[in-house]
A = this chain, B = another copy of it.
Amino acid sequence: MSNGPVLALVGATGAVGTVMIDILNGRESVPWGEIRLIASARSAGKKITVRGEELTVLALAPEVFDGVHVAMFDVPDEISAQWAPIAAERGAVAVDNSGAFRMDPEVPLVVPEVNADKVRQRPRGIIANPNCTTLSMMAAVGALHREFGLTELVVASYQAVSGAGVAGVERLYAELSAVAGKQVGVTAGDVRAALTEAGLSQEDSPFPAPLVLNVVPWAGSLKQDGWSSEELKVRNESRKILGIPGLKVSATCVRVPVVTTHSLAVHAVFEREVTVEQAHKVFAAQPSVVLVDDPAAGVFPTPADVVGGDPTYVGRVRQALDFPNTLDFFVCGDNLRKGAALNTYEIAEALAPEFS
């Protein structure tokens, strides 16, 4: 490759890493002089073509970070917790997509459209990428906040199974095959009976209940007072990204039988009055937001239609009838792209000029 900073991708062979390589390949141009693919020892030696060049996956080790300017981590929390500081020690800026550093006060939590300036303030040499559920609405919510001053968010999610990784996707496909053609779901127990009959035990599922022909009001792990980790992430990460420590947030996170793309029903209260027309203008002016809002013509975002796309899709924008300065809207974002790989890459891109 030509001159330019060195980019590393840790977790190159995982679910999000694979989407990251898609994104790298899809870019018209990239600012990098070299790209290094890194994974566990098990995947080392694999050949992957990136932008026309066949690269060999390197095994994760301290010395692979020597000479790296920006290291993107798409790995589980515990791997990031151990290795991002090592990459930073070796001189790289670590951009971490795990939950390990998001609420660390010395680690900025960045959505480039909202707070790109924060990439320069990184005392630990680490920048965190938000949780996919928070990210799915942040470009839209951040754009409105800039204009109208956000004070409250009430959010209900419709989260895709790929948020739980490849195991989540495979489980939903298996459940789908088990019930197809069976006319189940009308009476109690039917779905569970069909899964049992097909040899799918609940204990083997990454989810706590069947997902086919069902919705499951649970994502993540149990935290204080009945809140799930996912719900607290939506609250705490939204506050940090938007820079509103006192933002009032209530979220209910629900898993739905969708493969990829998270959706959220958002009730957002602002300091100033806001009309649907004003909100439409704000969304139209935000390059990473696509407005899909013409219900008279049956036009609104659905996960099946927006999956694979980079933007945040917004529709069903309504001025609340009974709440002042309040909008209700529905937003869809691909949880593997903007919700994970894409935002991480956009952070890396925002860093590149420093090293060019």
Contacts and interface: CB of A to CB of B under 8 A. Distances in A.
Max chain B CB contacts within 10 Å: which of A260, A308, A318?
Answer: A318
Interface string A162-192: 1000000100010011011101111111111
A143 interface: no
Contact of A323 (B158, B250, B304): B250
Contact of A156 (B228, B265, B302, B308): B265
A226 B296 CA distance: 8
B267 A250 contact: yes
A322 interface: yes
A74 interface: no
Contact of A265 (B186, B187, B252, B316): B252
Nearest to A181: B177
Copies per complex? 2
Interface string A230-254: 0000010000000000011110101
Contacts of A184: 259
Contact of A226 (B208, B250, B305, B316): B316
16 contacts: A152-B323, A158-B158, A184-B259, A186-B308, A190-B304, A190-B307, A210-B304, A213-B304, A215-B258, A215-B302, A217-B316, A228-B295, A235-B321, A250-B321, A252-B330, A257-B257
